[in-house]
Structure 1
Amino acid sequence: METETTTINVKSLTIYQNIIISLAFLIPFLINGPQLLTGTLVSCLLILGIKFVEKKNYLIISVLPSIAAVLNGLVFGKFTIFLAYFLPFIWLGNFVLIKSIIYLKEKFPLSLSIGLSVVFKTIILYFTALVFFKFNLVPKIFLTAMGVFQLVTGIMGGLVFLGINKIYDRRRQIN
């Protein structure tokens, strides 16, 4: 009986992982804004990935959303080269978000771990935008997009995750 339960859980986790990885690509590819919506959903998916995605796939979920956003611009005609400049830094920021939550949640409450990790990601992206702006590589609007918006969507995504996580944990206790 115990083996059967474990198998069901592994199958469920595989399904959740596939859904999260798929949505990490599909949401930014199919939803062309607003950044508040797509950023919140992507942030939530990145954090959900910690719970449901195998470690070997953390890099995949860190990279897919921004690639999808660039492809969205190419396919639907709103491509900006400026976003392409940020790709490696967005990947780094997403990966830092995931890894720092994993590390910090062992020492602090989950909500604080998420909040601090969002700040780390925002710092990476904001300072990248600041350097790019100082070198006249991107317009000033990217300071807001990679600063305040990253912070707000990261926090909102974290709050959505905490709600989903609470519901998921309750349902598991009932079953």
Structure 2
Amino acid sequence: MNASLFLAAVFLPKKYFLPLVIFPSLGVLARGIIFGPFTLFLVYFLPFIWLANLILIFIFKVFFLKVKYISSVFFASIVKFLFLFAVANICFNFHLVPKLFLQTMGLLQLFTALAGGIISFAVFNIYRNR
């Protein structure tokens, strides 16, 4: 998913960003794919996940125009991770979500965003060199 967000920032007009960040997480929620029985807690997180993905796209897009691709991936991934981890901590402290969310909205988000960025970089270079 993160690879498609990075590539969308490069290749798609802004009007496609919202559907791209909203629909996949609705599919995950409907199928209970990631959290299984904890899927109900994901409802609290959907707006924050959408916002985090938009943050990732916009920060990457701004920095992509000014600095190298990988540097932009790194910075956008860090900001997405910090945002989601902060929200997860707040929700956990208010007993809105179980501790599982601290793990899934923590370093796992950073690693998956960075992995998506590396994959998108490879795809970008293949596409650019055609």
Give the TM-score normalised by structure 2. Answer: 0.92
Give the conservation status (yes or no) of the 8 Å contact 1:72–1:79.
no
1:139 to 98, 101, 106: 98
Match of 1:81 in 2: 40
Match of 1:11 in 2: none
Say whether residues 1:150 and 2:89 are aligned partners. no
Task: Please state how far the C-alpha of 1:53 moved relative to its aligned partner.
Answer: 2.2
Match of 1:43 in 2: 2
SS at match of 1:138: coil
1:26-37 → structure 2 map (5 Å cutoff): none
**Number of paired residues?**
128
Give the conservation status (yes or no) of the 8 Å contact 1:72–1:78.
no
CA distance in 2, matches of 1:87, 1:150: 14
Unaligned runs of 5+ in 1: 1-41
Task: Please state how far the C-alpha of 1:78 moved relative to its aligned partner.
Answer: 4.9
Task: Please state how far the C-alpha of 1:79 moved relative to its aligned partner.
Answer: 6.1
Runs of 4+ in 1 over 4 A off after TM superposition: none
The residue type equivalent to 2:89 in the other structure is L
Unaligned runs of 5+ in 2: none
Give the conservation status (yes or no) of the 8 Å contact 2:78–2:110.
yes
Give the TM-score normalised by structure 1. Answer: 0.69
- The 3 A distance-change label for structure 1 pair 106 and 92 is same
Say whether residues 1:92 and 2:51 are aligned partners. yes
SS at match of 2:15: helix
Give the conservation status (yes or no) of the 8 Å contact 2:10–2:61.
no
Say whether residues 1:121 and 2:80 are aligned partners. yes
1:7-26 → structure 2 map (5 Å cutoff): none
Structure 1 vs Structure 2 CA RMSD: 1.5
- Residue-by-residue CA offset, 1:104-147 (whole Å, 9 max, x unaligned): 12222111011100111111110110001101111111111001
